[in-house]
Amino acid sequence: MNPRDKKDEDRDDETEYSPFYGIEKGAVLQDSRVFNDPQLDARRCAQVITKLLYLLNQGETFTKTEATEVFFAVTKLFQSKDVGLRRMVYLMIKEISPSSDEVIIVTSSLMKDMNSKTDLYRANAIRVLCKITDSALLGQIERYLKQAVVDKNVVVASAALVSGIHLLQTNPDIVRRWSNEVQEAVHSKAPLVQFHALALLHQIRQNDRLAVSKLVTSLTRGAIRSPLAQCLLIRYTSQVIHESSNGQGDRPFYDFLESCLRHKAEMVIFEAARAITEMRGVTSRELSPAITVLQLFLSSSKPVLRFAAVRTLNKVAMTHPLAVTNCNIDMESLISDQNRSIATLAITTLLKTGNESSVDRLMKQITNFMSDIADEFKIVVVEAIRSLCLKFPQKYRTLMNFLSNILREEGGFDYKKAIVDSILILIREIPDAKESGLSHLCEFIEDCEFTYLSTQILHLLGNEGPKTQDPSKYIRFIYNRVILENATVRASAVSALAKFGSVVEYLRPRILVLLRRCLYDNDDEVRDRATLYLKVLDEEQVAKKYLLEDVGVPLENLESSLRAYTSGYQLDESFDITSVPRDVKGPSAQDKKLAPGKKPQEVSGRGLENGVPAAGAGAQEAYVSLLSSIPEFAQLGKLFKSSPPVELTEAETEYSVNVVKHIFPAHIVFQFNCTNTIAEQLLENVSVIMELTEGDEFAEEATIPLKSLPCGAPGQTFVLMSRPENACAFGKFSNTLKFRVKEVDPSTGEADEDGYDDEYSLEDATVTANDYVLQVAVPNFRNAWEVMGPTFSKGDEWTLGVRDNLNEAVQAVINVLGMQPCEGTENVPSNARSHTCLLSGLFIGYVQVLVRLSFGIDPQKQVAMKLTVRAENQAVCDMIHEVIGNA
């Protein structure tokens, strides 16, 4: 056998073997009886403690009795003089964490060890005592701890300081009294003691900005010798600079940071360079010495230094790409680095900082590199290439060819999706890249193994293919999917073919032939689509309307709304597709017409459950049926929108109430859905008293009380408010539920004749911008934006403050406006530094409005936003800006 093979086999055996294999808690507890032997076997006792610690760290729990028995057994080991066993005893006591009444058992032994002549005993005893003692006992040993902080032995002093760091969280007053001793320890000659002392001293003073500034001022004069402590000091100095400079004018302590770039220790040099690059509003002059140092690290023989330097330069390149360009030659040599993380960072940095002339050379180097890295690194590279292409659109051919080549290589779904998404963005942003991008995607779907990507590409081909110079060349690729792929992809291919037939007139006869072949497909969906499109293509106008423009609503909702319309409701008015709800619901009952004479509370059994749409009911028509049955609401006009229910009571209260706001052209109907949960009470004449606390454009016109509300049977009461017609009136209302209570006999279920009046406070109800906007998507935002034109538009820039990431900022603005995100722009790529979100909707009065939001985030996580609005009138543009300004 080859010696190398023998060594590999031995290594495999070692990885499979574990000394703790098959350990059981019961057996180990039995073994712990060895602690009680008169003649202690130190080696065996240490083995048993090791097994107990293993069980505890694996998540095994001991009962109170088991923990107590083990604790008392372990305390008997203090009689052993074996140093190794004593250390295991310390670990076991800390892990068991005895209760306050048990701690006293070991306190005397630990205090004895704390004053022992053996330094190892002293250090460990301090750690254990500080871990398990309470405030009362801590006060008794405080004198010993203060002495230990300035002990001549490094291990003892560090143990006391580290214990102080932990104790500061639970007993800050005691630790703060050590300030003089800790201050003395900061000037210790021992590097470890100095490091721990500085960390503790800063934590003691961290809530006092002036004290921290004085600490930094005193220590930056050269009192720190420990490299670890120097790194801490640099971080504290950066904090003081950040809090005092605000990115403007001269910076305090910058000279100190620059001097640290000439330190002997590499860790201090890097920490100082990183601190300079992360300063708020750092200038090119201030960056220069730090970049020079990081450039030297790029050629270091130590991988950790190369990685640290290239990662820092990668971050700097996001904000100051020109400052990093001097390092490009050194970073190019890192593309072949054995550490793939270093190579990936080097490439992405070069892509951010390179100029247009270096693109071709970079692509050649990256091509050889891509096959050696994992998918997660490849995705980073792909995203960087996408940004580079948007930066230098003239180089789209080179970059598009590179993306298409790697698209045909092996890779997982996330990797392939990142490439496809990049090509789609380039097609959208660079018109000249459309033809080549579509061709590359056609070749990819020939052997694409991911259904999601195939359907996404087919959808794009259906939308963009007919607009190209030679649409016929895409037909073969699309029809191949009908022959070779699964049912989902076949259905998408049928839809794409139909769009070609709708737009390209000379291709329509050929498309009809292909669609007729699809009538014999095995899948219902494919056959149904083919049948529909064959019928639609007979009428050119209908084809363009329903094949090229998205209806904007789920088809099942459209069907249920049409059923309600044709059943006799308001046939004197034309059917308006904008009234169809966008939420996906199941098919509703065919007959939604309310029988004459029914009370409002009876409607809940027909399409409504607890006053809100039940599963399987279309929301809008269910609300329309409910409201149209009430005479007071018959002349309000067409219902524009109904909001989701908002809870006005907490869960599990005696009365449960939520409110739904129905928006009409000049009115708002507040529908309060009430539930009585008290079996011994019957509520009568239930109503809600609304008082306007903010706003002045509302006037109450009517209140529709609920006659009876027995336990468990939900009912509705209504309040009608008027407002200026087609105006966005905002307001806030305080609400009080008023009713008459009648006691119910549990045995007979009969209510008393007499009752008493009572009321119940509810949460406030608000009317905001969300209530006046209907979420309606546009199929092609770019075309809709251009068609809308700049006649009525408004743009402005906003600062959104500090956010964790861009996704949080995007979702916050979407929630404020309540509009419909388009083209998936509500999803922000991870770690993105900029993003564009597209929104559309209809405002009250059926005014179409489009919004383009451009977000950016800096290294300090400050988010800026540019808001551009286009609408059918200027008032809506102004109102959206006002909503954002008041949010």
CATH number (domain holding residue 379): 1.25.10.10
Give yes or no: residues 387 and 473 share one domain: yes
Q: Are 810 and 826 in contact (CB under 8 A)?
A: yes
Query: How sure is the predictor about 605, in pLDDT bands with cuts at 50, 70 and 90?
Result: very low
The verdict on 618 and 634 lying in the same domain is: no
CA distance 109 to 75: 9
pLDDT of 804-846, one tens digit each? 888 888 888 888 888 888 888 888 877 778 888 999 888 888 8
pLDDT value, residue 62 = 83
Tell me, yes or no, whether 518 and 564 share the same domain. Answer: no
Token pair listed for 719? 């309040």
The CATH number given to whatever domain includes residue 749 is 2.60.40.1480
- For residue 597, the one-letter residue type is G
Residue 234 lies in a domain: no
At residue 546, the pLDDT reads 56
Q: Which has the higher per-residue pLDDT, 290 or 364?
A: 290
Half-sphere exposure of 26 (CA within 13 A, CB side): 0
Quick one: 700 and 830 in the same domain? no
Read off the pLDDT of residues 620-674 as tens digits, 9 standing for 90 and up.
Answer: 777 887 888 888 887 888 888 888 889 998 877 888 899 999 999 889 999 999 9
Please report, rounded to a whole number, the percentage of residues in the chain having pLDDT higher than 70.
88
Q: Under a CB-based contact definition with an 8 Å cutoff, are residues 589 and 565 in contact?
A: no
| Selected residue with higher pLDDT from 753 and 456 | 456
pLDDT band of residue 614 (cuts 50, 70, 90) is very low
pLDDT in tens, 689-704: 999 888 888 889 999 9
User: 709-722, pLDDT tens digit by residue?
Assistant: 888 888 899 999 99
Q: Are residues 515 and 409 in the same domain?
A: yes
Whole-number pLDDT of residue 552: 64
Integer Cα distance of 876 and 817 in angstroms: 12
**C-alpha dist (Å) from residue 508 to 196, 517, 540, 543:** 80, 14, 10, 11
Per-residue pLDDT at 100: 65
Degrees to nearest 5, angle at CA 750 with 746 and 756:
95
For position 861, what pLDDT does the model report? 83
Cβ–Cβ under 8 Å, residues 719 and 690? yes
One domain, residues 406 and 488: yes
> Looking at the domain assignment, is residue 192 inside a domain?
no
For 219, the token pair is 């220590």
**Please, which pLDDT band fits residue 597 given cuts at 50, 70 and 90?**
very low
Reported as a pLDDT band with limits 50, 70 and 90, residue 850 is very high
Instruction: Indicate if 528 and 675 belong to the same structural domain.
Output: no
Asked if residue 281 is part of any domain, the answer here is: no
pLDDT bracket for residue 598 (50, 70, 90): very low
Rounded mean pLDDT of 57-75?
84
| pLDDT exceeds cutoff 60 at 115 | yes
Query: What's the token pair of residue 230?
Result: 């120097």
- Average pLDDT of the segment spanning 598-608: 41
Instruction: Please indicate, yes or no, whether residues 655 and 733 belong to a single structural domain of this protein.
Output: yes
Which residues lie closer than 8 Å to 867 by C-beta, 6 or more apart? Answer: 795, 796, 797, 798, 851, 852, 853, 880, 881, 884
| 745 and 637 belong to one structural domain | yes
Q: Assign 357 to helix, strand or coil.
A: helix
Average model confidence (pLDDT) across the chain: 81
709 falls within a domain: yes
Residue 364, sorted as left (phi over 0), alpha (psi -120 to 50) or beta, turns out to be alpha
Instruction: Specify if 334 maps to a domain.
Output: no
Among the residue ranges 79-93, 132-146, 613-627, 757-771, the one predicted with the least confidence is 613-627
Q: Which of 523, 548, 573 is the last residue of a domain?
A: 548
**Residue 417 CB neighbours (<10 A):** 17
Helix 434-445 to helix 396-407 angle (10° resolution) is: 10
> How far from the centroid of its chain's Cα atoms is residue 242's Cα?
27
pLDDT at 724 over 90: no
**Among the listed ranges 145-159, 271-285, 438-452, 543-557, which one has the minimum average pLDDT value?**
543-557
> How many independent structural domains does the chain possess?
4
Taking alpha carbons only, the member of 705, 702, 692, 821 closest to residue 757 is: 705
Residue 582: which domain range?
A: 552-623
Residues 533, 390 share a domain: yes
394 & 540 share domain: yes
- Residue 332 — pLDDT band, cuts 50, 70, 90? confident
* Strand partners for 670: 661, 719
One-letter amino acid of 751: A
Among 548, 574, 594, identify where a domain stops. 548
Q: Name the pTM for this structure.
A: 0.51
On whether the CB atoms of residues 478 and 438 are closer than 8 A, the answer is no
Q: Are residues 399 and 503 located together in one domain of the fold?
A: yes
Interatomic CA distance for residues 636 and 567, integer angstroms: 21
- Specify if 181 maps to a domain: no
Lowest mean pLDDT among 213-222, 663-672, 731-740: 213-222
Q: Give the ranges where 17-153 is alpha helix by DSSP (H).
A: 25-31, 42-57, 64-75, 83-96, 100-114, 119-132, 135-149
In a domain, residue 654? The reply is yes
Number of Cβ within 10 Å of residue 97's Cβ equals 12
Q: Which of 748, 767, 786 is the last residue of a domain?
A: 767
Instruction: Answer yes or no: is 607 within a domain.
Output: yes
pLDDT over 80 at 567, yes or no: no
3-state secondary structure of 685: strand
pLDDT tens digits for range 508-544: 888 888 888 888 888 888 898 888 888 888 766 555 5
